[in-house]
């Protein structure tokens, strides 16, 4: 019985987005540059991580989205409550 119940799509999207944004650190010369092992290993692994994350997000969206419990996904809601940014109902 496969289900997306209990998973946070917002958390998943945030992690995948962060991994994809991390790729920019190579182009901006912010990433660690190793002295011993080949430099190409680091961006290759980062690209692989980003591709895996996008594939995971796509897989969740295509296979499990119909079981996703949107009402129970409260990732980050506490920040909006504290800043009083939620819409008034």
Residue 88 is classified by DSSP as P
- The CA-CA-CA angle for residues 46, 73, 59, to 5°, reads 45
> What per-residue confidence (pLDDT) applies to 76?
74
Residue 4 has pLDDT above 80, yes or no: no
Q: What is the pLDDT of residues 42-82, one digit of tens each?
A: 889 999 999 999 999 898 888 888 887 878 877 777 788 88
pTM: 0.69
* CA neighbor of 48 nearest in space, from 20, 13, 15, 14: 20
How far is Cα 81 from Cα 8, in angstroms, rounded to an integer? 18
Tell me what the pLDDT averaged over the chain comes to. Answer: 85
Angle ∠(86,88,89) on CA atoms, nearest 5: 125
Q: How many residues does the chain have?
A: 89
Q: Residue 58: its pLDDT value, please?
A: 92
């Amino acid at each position: 019985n496969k289900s997306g119940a209990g998973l946070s799509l917002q958390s998943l999207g945030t992690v995948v987005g962060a991994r994809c944004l991390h790729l920019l650190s190579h182009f901006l010369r912010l990433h660690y540059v190793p002295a011993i092992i080949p430099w190409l290993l680091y961006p290759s692994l980062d690209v692989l991580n980003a591709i895996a994350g996008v594939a995971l997000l796509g897989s969740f969206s295509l296979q499990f989205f119909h079981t996703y419990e949107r009402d129970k996904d409260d990732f980050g809601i506490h920040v909006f409550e504290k800043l009083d940014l939620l819409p008034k109902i």
